[in-house]
Chain A
Amino acid sequence: MANLTLVQAVNDALKTAMRTDPSVLVFGEDVGPKGGVFLATDGLTKEFGEERCFDTPLSEDGIVGAAIGMAVNGLKPVCEIQFQDFIFPAFDQIVSEAAKLRYRSGGQYTAPMVIRTPYGGGIRGGLYHSQSGEAYFCHTPGLKVVIPSTPHDAKGLLLASIDDPDPVLFLEPKALYRAVKGEVPEGKYKVDLSTLRTVREGKSVTVFCYGAMVPVVQKAAEQAAEKGIETLIIDLRTLLPLDEEGVLDAAKMTGRVVVVHEAPRFCGFGAEISALIAENAIEYMEAPIARVTGFDTPFPNTLEHHYMPDDRRVLDAIEHVYNY
């Protein structure tokens, strides 16, 4: 066991995968000798050489498009898009190509690959270094969308993603890169995709969250506990394919649900969770489902701490559904 930050756990996962599987390649913008703008790929070129970890031209659709070709022809690409905000030139390659290749070819061709990218706010990055675009991608059958919130899960989920037979978009909460630290097992281990993590047990209110919102919800839950409200916190970890039964079980357990994400509310992932519960477990609900989200605006800069859900807003929602 080592005590690592989340970004160190990502780095550890990449090194572990590259040591155990010679077909794994890491590439993207500035991921080589510099080690990535957040140092997620620190030391990889040094340990594995430029053959295995290298810089590419500044071309997101080229990075993802070429990764698809590499995957089709026997390599295991783990490419990086420097910020999720910059992924949109590659949207076509992800949505039209990687996600649909298996289906459209009747299973003859597949693109097992991982696209890692930091997402989310909290670093004063403004409109173009802060977005949470997960919902765009969750609307894409054929793709898997994974978001860790702890160093342990970051490594285990990334290793599971690299071994997965389908393309995975691995969204890393950049606000947590160095803000959380935890025990991470050495060597290879996997956290199964499409499984939920119970962060905190509770019988009063269920809160669904993921990524950088998990510690925010934990903080709110501590304050709720002081008021006698016991919060069940579920970290979704894999948004697509979602463990729908797990979500419904957790919702039924308390009958009071809050969903938290930093992305805009309209058509955000919270809408899917709400609809899922409304369709399948409305009779268990004791209160309307509440969403705590970013605003339906572009991501701000100076006022980002008001845009992003904080413990006060989450606590307010917990109390609201509890007292309904």
Chain B
Amino acid sequence: MAVKSKKNVSGSELTDEQHVALLRHMLAVRCTDERMLKLQRSGRIGFVGTAKGIEGAIIGSAYALKPQDWLWSGLREGGAAVMRGLPLSEYIAQMYCNSNDTAKGRQMCNHFQHKGSHYPSWSSVIGTQIPHGVGAAFAAKRRRLDEVHAIYFGDGATSSNGFHSGMNLAAVWKAPCVFVCVDNGWAISVCSAKQTAAEKFADKAVAYGMPGVTVDGNDVLACHAAVQEALERARAGEGPSLVVLETYRMMGHSSSDDPTRYRDDKEVAAWAAKDPIDRFEKLLIAAGTIAKDTRAQLEAELYTQIDAEIHVQEAAPKMALRTLVDDVYAEVPRHLQRQYNNFIAVAERLGHATPGDGAFPL
């Protein structure tokens, strides 16, 4: 299958304003990651899985979604969530896992959610979100909602149960969804070539009876165009498709991973030369859309915002102890109420809790 690539802005269907917006969103991802990594290195937060190198893939693809569409994410789509409406405050609160986090600090870092922009909570289990997105797309079709579900996952997830069952169900049901595989080259330390014997991940679509395309994932406009086309197809009731965005994870899997143990510096350098942000910046400068110092200005603005928000999140109030037992069920069952009350009695004695801190009247 041919690699699609848009080589100049004149081939783009987007306006200059949209091009600048795309650049800004990509920079937001990179600047936020950069700050988060610093916070992790200084011990302020526990974990960061950066999107460095894949900003074009996640921003370009998600930019094609309409506000009513859903984005079922994997680990690295947080930047797309911010672009679509996740407030930066909630993003950073989630990284701090603090009391401002909408998930009440229950998930480790990089597990975002945002109900307002249809970005459901992700577990850390690989591929399980794929059938969820399919079921939700089925529901949209059944409820006659004008809504497409973009289901994101990485190259490693193409080997998971969820990929197989989700792709199969979606095609059988003609569900309005798009499978977006961000092939960033590495599933932690296992390269894509060891993940499948298929020539391309997109070939897998054939077996499920849906179209599959491979896209230059470092070309933000190509990512946008390919996903746009797949979304339109789904929206028109023609069923799902698979879009594989070929890109590269420049950093380790996470802040806990040392990628020099398993991959060649030359490979990393070769991909660094294809950096999606540098590439798009050059394109926009050549097209006269932005000036040479535009990027620096955008970055400065972004860092100011991010840093201000970091200060706010550093000062978040303590997590309420009751969150230990809330939200397991719609109502806290009596056995959990007792467990909590027993815990709080000990915590009070030891001075770890204020008297009666959320104890249940039993």
- Contact present for B113 and A109 (CB under 8 Å): yes
- Contact present for A57 and B132 (CB under 8 Å): no
10 closest A-B pairs by beta carbon, nearest first, are A69-B135, A65-B131, A62-B165, A66-B135, A69-B136, A241-B333, A73-B139, A105-B121, A69-B132, A165-B330
B329 touches A (CB below 8 Å):
yes
A70 vs B70: C-alpha distance when bound (angstroms): 13
A242 vs B133: C-alpha distance when bound (angstroms): 32
B8 touches A (CB below 8 Å):
no
- Contact present for B334 and A241 (CB under 8 Å): yes
A242 vs B139: C-alpha distance when bound (angstroms): 32
CB distance from B71 to the nearest CB of A (A): 13
CB distance from B121 to the nearest CB of A (A): 4
**Chain B contacts of A110 at CB under 8 A?**
330
What is the chain B residue whose CB lies nearest that of A110? B330
B128 touches A (CB below 8 Å):
yes
1/0 per residue, CB under 8 A from B, across A209-237: the answer is 00000000000000000000000000000
A187 touches B (CB below 8 Å):
no
A266 touches B (CB below 8 Å):
no
A67 vs B115: C-alpha distance when bound (angstroms): 19
Sample (9) of A-B pairs whose CB atoms are under 8 Å apart: A62-B165, A65-B128, A65-B135, A70-B138, A71-B135, A75-B142, A93-B128, A108-B102, A108-B113
- Contact present for A245 and B334 (CB under 8 Å): yes
- Contact present for A103 and B106 (CB under 8 Å): yes
What is the chain B residue whose CB lies nearest that of A276? B335
**Chain B contacts of A103 at CB under 8 A?**
106, 327-328
- Contact present for A241 and B131 (CB under 8 Å): no
**Chain A contacts of B200 at CB under 8 A?**
none
B103 touches A (CB below 8 Å):
yes
What is the chain B residue whose CB lies nearest that of A77? B135
Chain A residues 103-145 with CB under 8 Å of chain B are: 103-110, 141-142, 144
- Contact present for B132 and A68 (CB under 8 Å): yes
- Contact present for A69 and B328 (CB under 8 Å): no
What is the chain B residue whose CB lies nearest that of A243? B334
- Contact present for B131 and A66 (CB under 8 Å): yes
CB distance from B153 to the nearest CB of A (A): 13
- Contact present for A104 and B135 (CB under 8 Å): no
B136, B143, B338: the one within 8 Å of A72 (CB) = B136
B169, B329, B330: the one within 8 Å of A56 (CB) = B169
What is the chain A residue whose CB lies nearest that of B107? A104
A231 vs B312: C-alpha distance when bound (angstroms): 64
A318 touches B (CB below 8 Å):
no
A233 vs B142: C-alpha distance when bound (angstroms): 46
- Contact present for B121 and A92 (CB under 8 Å): no
Chain B residues 148-182 with CB under 8 Å of chain A are: 149, 161-162, 164-166, 168-169, 172
CB distance from B138 to the nearest CB of A (A): 6
Chain B residues 100-122 with CB under 8 Å of chain A are: 101-104, 106-107, 111, 113, 115, 120-121
A101 touches B (CB below 8 Å):
yes
**Chain B contacts of A242 at CB under 8 A?**
335
With known contacts A75-B143, A103-B327, A110-B330, A59–B165 Cβ distance under 8 A: yes
- Contact present for B139 and A104 (CB under 8 Å): no
- Contact present for B169 and A108 (CB under 8 Å): no
- Contact present for B330 and A102 (CB under 8 Å): yes
A61, A74, A108: the one within 8 Å of B103 (CB) = A108
B137 touches A (CB below 8 Å):
yes
**Chain A contacts of B330 at CB under 8 A?**
102, 110, 165-166
**Chain A contacts of B120 at CB under 8 A?**
72, 105, 109
1/0 per residue, CB under 8 A from B, across A40-84: the answer is 000000000001000011010110111111111111010000000
A56, A96, A102, A109: the one within 8 Å of B128 (CB) = A96
With known contacts A69-B131, A74-B143, A105-B103, A57–B168 Cβ distance under 8 A: yes
**Chain B contacts of A64 at CB under 8 A?**
131
A51 vs B101: C-alpha distance when bound (angstroms): 39
- Contact present for A59 and B125 (CB under 8 Å): no
B220 touches A (CB below 8 Å):
no
CB distance from A146 to the nearest CB of B (A): 13
Additional A-B contact list (18), CB under 8 Å, known A92-B161, A244-B338: A57-B168, A57-B169, A66-B131, A66-B166, A66-B169, A69-B136, A70-B139, A96-B128, A97-B128, A100-B123, A104-B106, A104-B111, A104-B123, A105-B121, A108-B121, A110-B330, A242-B335, A244-B335
A298 touches B (CB below 8 Å):
no
